[in-house]
């Protein structure tokens, strides 16, 4: 089984790299002051991580007219805490193809939304989330620094090892987005 997983992972990486060459967009730097539409992409398997994304969404809704979140649940089914939030959409592992990519009908609306900013809150390298980062039409994409995100994000935030958690990532991303005064 591990050999099959290695082959599957290699094929998925290859498909992602191939898709990178096809997708094109114009980067438009944007700070929170001038943003009208913000997307939040997050890993939502863990309830504590989901709560951080939820708090961010509610905080942003106070100042930005349109905020939408999409979360990936790395389980076959959604948990009870996923069922109530209106401004959140979720997809889970059973909605992935055999290589680990989300089915088009699940993520098309989110990917095709022209967000001013896409905030990516994934702490681990996951194919479904990387695919959405790649496909998103967002003008400005921000998230965690890692080598695999270099072609997917416009701004990457680096965290030191002792503060490497989603709450610190949100804090740093908001700090940098508030500092951008580009029109």
Residue 40 and residue 15: Cα distance in Å, rounded?
Answer: 24
List Cβ neighbours of 70 (8 Å cut-off, separation of 6 or more).
39, 40, 41, 42, 88, 89, 90, 91, 107, 110, 132
11 Cβ contact list (under 8 Å, min separation 6): 99
Identify the residue whose tokens are 């349109």.
66
Computed over every residue of the chain, the mean pLDDT equals 86
For the chain, give the percent of residues with pLDDT over 90: 58
pLDDT in tens, 126-155: 989 999 999 899 999 999 999 888 889 999
> In 106-135, which positions are buried (b, 16+ CB within 10 angstroms) versus exposed (e)?
bbeebbebebbbbbbbbbeeebbbbbbbbb
pLDDT at position 12: 66
User: Per this entry, what is the length of the chain?
Assistant: 183
Residue 10 is predicted with a pLDDT of 65
Whole-prediction pTM: 0.88
Q: What confidence tier does 101 reach under pLDDT thresholds 50, 70, 90?
A: confident
SS3 87: coil
Query: What is residue 125's predicted lDDT score, i.e. its pLDDT?
Result: 87
- Average pLDDT, integer, range 54-65: 95
N-to-C CA span, the chain? 52
Determine the Cα–Cα distance for residues 163 and 156; give it in Å rounded to an integer: 16
pLDDT of residue 1: 47
Ordered structural domains, the chain, with CATH: 2-179 (3.40.50.2000)
Does the structure show a pLDDT above 60 at 166? yes
List, for residues 8-46, the tens digit of each pLDDT value: 666 666 666 666 544 567 888 899 999 999 999 999 999
Q: Locate the DSSP E strands across 66-160.
A: 66-73, 88-92, 117-120, 141-144, 155-157
């Amino acid at each position: 089984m591990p050999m099959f997983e290695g082959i599957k992972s290699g094929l998925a990486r290859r498909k992602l790299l191939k898709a990178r060459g096809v997708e094109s967009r114009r980067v438009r730097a944007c700070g929170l002051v001038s943003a009208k539409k913000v997307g939040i992409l997050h890993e939502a398997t863990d309830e504590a991580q989901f709560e951080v994304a939820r708090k961010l969404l509610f905080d942003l809704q106070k100042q930005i007219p349109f905020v939408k979140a999409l979360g990936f649940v790395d389980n076959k089914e959604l948990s009870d805490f996923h069922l109530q939030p209106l401004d959140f959409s979720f997809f889970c592992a059973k909605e992935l193809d055999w290589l680990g990519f989300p089915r088009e009908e699940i993520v098309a609306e989110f990917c095709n939304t022209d967000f001013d900013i896409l905030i990516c809150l994934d702490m681990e390298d996951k194919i479904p989330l990387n695919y959405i980062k790649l496909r998103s039409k967002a003008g400005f994409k921000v998230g965690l620094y890692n080598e695999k995100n270099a072609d997917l994000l416009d701004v990457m935030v680096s965290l030191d090892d002792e503060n490497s958690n989603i709450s610190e990532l949100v804090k740093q991303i908001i700090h940098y987005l508030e500092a951008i005064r580009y029109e």
